[in-house]
Amino acid sequence: MNRPPIDLRSDTVTRPTPEMKRAMLEAPVGDDVYGDDPSVNALEARTAELLGKEAALFVPSGTMANQIAVAVHTRPGDELLCAETSHVYVWEAGGVARHSGVTARTFPGDLGLLRLEEIEDAIRPDDIHYTRTRLVWLENTHNRGGGRVQTMESVAAIRHWARENQLAMHLDGARLMNAVVATGTSAADWARHFDTVSICFSKGLGAPVGSALAGSADTIKRARAVRKLLGGGMRQAGFIAAGAHHALDHHVERLADDHAHARILADAFSATEGFSLESGPVETNLVWVTVDPSLGTAAEVVAYLKTHGIRLSALGGQVVRACTHLDVSREDAEYAAKVIRQIEPAMITAVTLVY
């Protein structure tokens, strides 16, 4: 039986549902730079309320939301503190230095989840020889940490310390709604510990484009100017804002399905010789797996699975990632798990020889 490909490379590959397309087509629009787009205005107000902040700003991508956050909290020469595997440090093309002139001081974290004991003595002295420590950066859920959720207790402890030391805090909440569904804790409760929060609509929520940055009214006013500077001022953006509205209406609670499907894949990898989970039990929709060299390389495993219609990402010499999402059904996950459980070294070698 010929199956459509099962794309597990990322939750960014989702396609808008027919209902979402209809909502986008019918959206009222205007010029957002002039503040005239009713769909964008409504989404920004809705996002601010969702996150318990005074205001929010709609932007094209999560990377832009994060880069704007750096800019509004710092000045050139400042320093931010983050885990060494944070998206802002690893996957945003050095933007903190290129756009804001800021250096990132990194820490191992607990598989990417920053710990207070790592940073509590990290603030630079008030001395002309040093950069100014200004911003603490957390990511929840943490992509490179296997989609793990940073506990509320650890977030609150870091926030208390940051306030005592007059440091700003930003939450990269690209997959914040996954943390909400996994824990039952509201988005506003997560966000209350942070000065700014970014959230993506184009990952697990399934919208085709768009993210938002939320914070105080004054912060978002300054953020709007930075968005313009970065080329993020959009015109009739209500069409894509409508996709985000539809996602918030229909695609939040179903994230639990993605989490269940990820556990199916994780169980298959755990049960198959040559694979091991990098970050322990899977908590949300990301499965990071280490490939034993006796089985082959990550690229070779990905090539083998592709011959069976399953697409994963090779994100290191011996590391693969699977990511479940709106377009992956339980049947898809079970089929992929079945193929994974049957993998043996000879199969990987055979595909490598063909390629």
What does the domain layout of the chain look like in residue ranges?
A: 18-251, 254-353
Between the alpha carbon of residue 136 and those of residues 68, 80, 185, 317, the distances in Å are 15, 6, 22, 31
Paired tokens of 3: 């199956």
Between the alpha carbon of residue 48 and those of residues 34, 44, 188, the distances in Å are 20, 6, 9
pLDDT at residue number 354: 47
pLDDT at residue number 172: 98
What's the topology of domain 254-353? Aspartate Aminotransferase, domain 1 (3.90.1150)
Paired tokens of 5: 């490909």
Paired tokens of 99: 């756009």
pTM: 0.95
Nearest to 139 by CA among 97, 161, 95, 107: 107
What SS3 class is residue 220? helix
Paired tokens of 123: 């603030």
Q: How far is Cα 176 from Cα 59, in angstroms, rounded to an integer?
A: 17
Point out the residues of the chain with pLDDT beneath 70.
1, 347, 349-355
Which residues have CB under 8 Å from 1's CB, separation 6+? none
Paired tokens of 149: 């959720």
Residue labelled with tokens 């039990």: 281
pLDDT at residue number 3: 82
Choices 1.10.300.10, 3.90.700.10, 3.40.640.10, 3.40.190.10: CATH for 18-251: 3.40.640.10
Query: Cβ(147)–Cβ(277) under 8 Å?
Result: no
Between the alpha carbon of residue 192 and those of residues 102, 103, 117, 185, the distances in Å are 25, 26, 22, 12
pLDDT at residue number 352: 53
